[in-house]
């Protein structure tokens, strides 16, 4: 095959399978791994694919940021079910880092009466839930993201670099078996990475509609998580591909 034919083959394979790794592409095309990487780099430059660790996935419309007012009631029954399941992960006396988002907001509502917890968050809406609640609350500080209430920037990053917590409850915009967890902006991905580094354990908490999607900036691979809490509507093939430690919240 010439280079154009190889790249067409790769696109067709991804259109069918959704993903492919470098080893299988090199074998199928009878070329070196370096040749496959060059082909993938060119296809990515043309916005045809997204390269992942060891392979590629088909380019889809990337999941972008949604204003809080639009997502507050979206998938609310699933978010409440996930919150009930995730709240059980919070052990007595824990220091818990809670990501910004509407699913994590539902979790905090269930933790408000526990006087043995310290909760750290980068979300002003979550912090407002804790003004008259029993847990000790620490907010990261930083610049407020318009229409969302999430905090980011150097002040938030500095605090996160200087703490250690027992548990991080991570929210996600998009989850993909190969591409991992991705966020709409590099800044948001950076904050999530620092949160993970600060925690002994990280659990992903998100509804099943977020799966098999990709966004702009990579946060982490799914193998870096302690486990995933999602709702029971998740498809069997997605569950098997994502993580062996899944907690499904009944709807």
The 10s digit of each residue's pLDDT in 152-189 is 999 999 999 999 999 999 999 999 888 899 988 888 99
Q: Among 7-11, 78-82, 87-91, 109-113, where is mean pLDDT lowest?
A: 7-11
- CA angle, residues 179, 191, 199, in degrees to nearest 5: 90
Closest CA to 196 of 221, 231, 229: 221
Same domain, 43 and 143: no
pLDDT of res. 244: 79
Same domain, 72 and 26: no
Same domain, 28 and 93: no
Calculate mean pLDDT across residues 89-94: 97
> SS3 for 244?
coil
How many Å is the Cα radius of gyration of the chain? 20
Q: Which long-range contacts (CB under 8 A, 24 or more apart) does 75-79 make?
A: 75/207, 75/209, 77/251, 78/207, 78/208, 78/209, 78/231, 78/233, 78/249, 78/251, 79/103, 79/106, 79/207
In this prediction the pTM is: 0.75
Same domain, 27 and 79: no
In a domain, 61, yes or no: no
Same domain, 159 and 37: no
pLDDT of res. 235: 77
High-pLDDT (> 90) share of the chain, %? 59
Distance CA(176)–CA(199), nearest Å, equals 22
Chain-centre distance of CA 145, in angstroms?
18
pLDDT of res. 61: 47
How many domains is the chain partitioned into structurally? 2
Q: Which residue has the higher pLDDT, 65 or 131?
A: 131
High-pLDDT (> 70) share of the chain, %? 90
3-state helix, strand, coil in the chain (%, to 5): 40, 25, 35
In a domain, 179, yes or no: yes
Distance CA(191)–CA(151), nearest Å, equals 9
Contact at 8 Å (CB) between 24 and 13? no
Same domain, 207 and 121: yes
Same domain, 44 and 106: no
Domain boundary among 56, 74, 103: 56
CATH number, domain of 10, equals 1.10.10.10
One-character DSSP codes across 89-148 = T--TT-EEEE-SSHHHHHHHHHHTT-TT-EEEESBHHHHHHTTTSSSEEEE---EEPTTT
The 10s digit of each residue's pLDDT in 198-214 is 999 999 999 999 998 88
Residue 239 makes CB contacts below 8 A (sequence gap 6+) with 246, 248
174: which strand partners? 182
Distance CA(62)–CA(50), nearest Å, equals 10
Same domain, 170 and 118: yes
Distance CA(36)–CA(13), nearest Å, equals 13
Contact at 8 Å (CB) between 101 and 171? yes
CATH number, domain of 95, equals 3.40.50.10470
Domain containing 34 equals 1-56
What is the average pLDDT value for the chain, to the nearest integer?
89
Domain boundary among 31, 56, 81: 56
Q: Looking at the predicted structure, is the pLDDT value of residue 73 above 80?
A: no
DSSP count for the chain of H helices, then E strands: 10, 15
């Amino acid at each position: 095959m010439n280079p154009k034919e190889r790249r067409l083959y790769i696109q067709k394979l991804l259109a069918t399978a959704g993903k492919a790794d470098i080893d299988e592409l090199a074998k199928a095309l009878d070329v070196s791994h370096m040749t496959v990487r060059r082909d993938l780099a060119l296809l990515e430059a043309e916005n045809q694919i997204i390269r992942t660790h060891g392979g590629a996935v088909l380019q889809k419309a990337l999941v972008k940021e949604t204003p809080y007012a639009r997502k507050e009631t979206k998938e609310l029954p699933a978010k409440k079910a996930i919150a009930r399941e995730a709240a059980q992960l919070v052990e007595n006396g824990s220091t818990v880092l809670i990501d910004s988002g509407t699913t994590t907001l539902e979790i905090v509502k269930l933790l408000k009466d526990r006087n043995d917890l310290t909760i750290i968050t980068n979300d002003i809406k979550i912090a407002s839930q804790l003004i008259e609640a029993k847990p000790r609350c620490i907010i990261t500080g930083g610049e407020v993201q318009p229409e969302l209430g999430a905090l980011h920037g150097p002040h938030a990053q500095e605090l996160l670099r200087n703490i250690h917590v027992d548990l991080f409850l991570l929210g996600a915009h998009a989850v993909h078996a190969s591409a991992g967890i991705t966020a709409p902006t590099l800044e948001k991905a950076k904050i999530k990475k620092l949160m993970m580094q600060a925690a002994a354990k990280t659990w992903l908490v998100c509804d099943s509609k977020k799966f098999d999607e990709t966004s702009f900036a990579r946060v982490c691979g799914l193998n870096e998580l302690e486990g995933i809490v999602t709702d029971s509507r998740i498809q069997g093939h997605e569950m098997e591909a994502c993580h062996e430690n899944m907690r499904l919240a009944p709807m």
